[in-house]
């Protein structure tokens, strides 16, 4: 019985990582295609504010309807969010050399994997730790907004370093939370399918933020 439970949990996390990979593939593909297609670049440039708003609206809807939305609707919204995010990530390929992007992506993947494994295997309760990280995330958002007006490079570096630490911590916390979610819905396959999409979204956001902040610190910019 324990074996079956472990196997089912493995299948649950396999679905999560499959959808996370799909999301990253969609975002990366659209970002690169847009960066080499003048008409797409013009579209993004002319509608950038609208795209940012749409990205926020989709992720808010996804989270607001977490208990009500069907697994199919969750998948559609996740794919839509990944596609819109791809448009906003176009600057990655415009600003940084592609070899640098690949190297930082690999570094982010290794760091993400280590913390994901820790969150999965640790016996320590990360609940209170997660609450601290959420408050730290709010502080990061506020500091980032302030720095838009200040434009201080040193402050920007500090924000990036703190962000990496916070999102690595959130990766471990999310992994442990997903184990709890699996145990709660283990007898409801329909709900587990939906929660796999939400788990993919949470881990996608963790990874993207780790990647972008590492890129900001170590990425080699184009001349």
- Contact between 62 and 201 under an 8 Å Cβ cutoff? The reply is yes
Angle among Cα 10, 13, 17 to the nearest 5 degrees reads 135
**What pTM did the predictor assign?**
0.92
pLDDT grade, residue 195 (50/70/90)? very high
| Band (50; pLDDT cuts 50, 70, 90) | very high
pLDDT for 92 equals: 95
Q: pLDDT tens digit string along 2-45?
A: 445 678 899 999 999 999 999 999 999 999 999 999 999 999 99
Query: What pLDDT is recorded for position 21?
Result: 97
For the beta carbon of residue 188, count every other beta carbon within 10 angstroms: 11
Which pLDDT band holds residue 81 (cuts at 50, 70, 90)? very high
pLDDT at site 74: 92
Phi-psi region of 70 (alpha: psi -120 to 50; beta: other; left: phi over 0): beta
In this predicted structure, what is the pLDDT of residue 2?
43
The SS3 of residue 96 is strand
Give the residue-averaged pLDDT of 192-198.
94
Give me the sign of the Cα torsion angle 179, 185, 189, 191.
Answer: negative
- The residue behind tokens 């690999």 is 106
Q: What are phi and psi of 96, to 5 degrees?
A: -110, 150
Mean of per-residue pLDDT scores for the chain: 92
Report how far residue 111's alpha carbon sits from residue 170's, in angstroms, rounded to the nearest whole number. 12
Residue from 205, 221, 222, 212 nearest 104 by CA: 212
Q: In this predicted model, what pLDDT tens digit does every residue of 132-172 receive, in sequence order?
A: 998 998 899 898 888 888 888 888 899 999 999 999 999 99
Domain positions in the chain are 2-218
- pLDDT above 70 as % of the chain: 98
**Which of 148, 144, 147 is closest to 166 using CA atoms?**
144
Model confidence band, residue 200 (pLDDT cutoffs 50, 70, 90):
very high
Query: Looking at residues 75-86, what average pLDDT do you find?
Result: 95
């Amino acid at each position: 019985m324990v074996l079956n439970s472990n196997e089912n949990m493995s299948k649950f996390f396999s679905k999560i990582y499959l959808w996370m990979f799909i999301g990253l593939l969609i975002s990366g593909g659209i970002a690169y295609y847009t960066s080499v297609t003048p008409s797409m670049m013009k579209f993004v440039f002319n509608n950038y504010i609208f795209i940012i708003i749409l990205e926020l609206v989709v992720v808010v809807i996804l989270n607001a309807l977490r208990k009500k939305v069907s697994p199919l609707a969750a998948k559609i919204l996740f794919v839509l969010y990944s596609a819109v995010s791809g448009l906003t990530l176009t600057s990655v390929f415009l600003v940084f050399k592609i070899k640098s992007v690949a190297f930082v992506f690999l570094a982010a993947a290794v760091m993400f994997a280590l913390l994901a494994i820790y969150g999965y295997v640790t016996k320590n309760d990360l609940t209170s730790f997660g609450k601290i990280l959420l408050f730290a995330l709010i502080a990061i958002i506020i500091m980032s907004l302030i720095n838009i007006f200040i434009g201080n490079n040193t402050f920007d570096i500090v924000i990036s370093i703190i962000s990496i630490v916070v999102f690595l911590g959130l990766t471990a916390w999310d992994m442990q939370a997903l184990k709890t979610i699996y145990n709660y819905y283990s007898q409801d396959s329909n709900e587990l399918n939906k929660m796999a999409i939400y788990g993919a979204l949470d881990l996608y956001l963790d990874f993207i933020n780790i990647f972008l902040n590492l890129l900001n610190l170590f990425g080699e910019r184009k001349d």
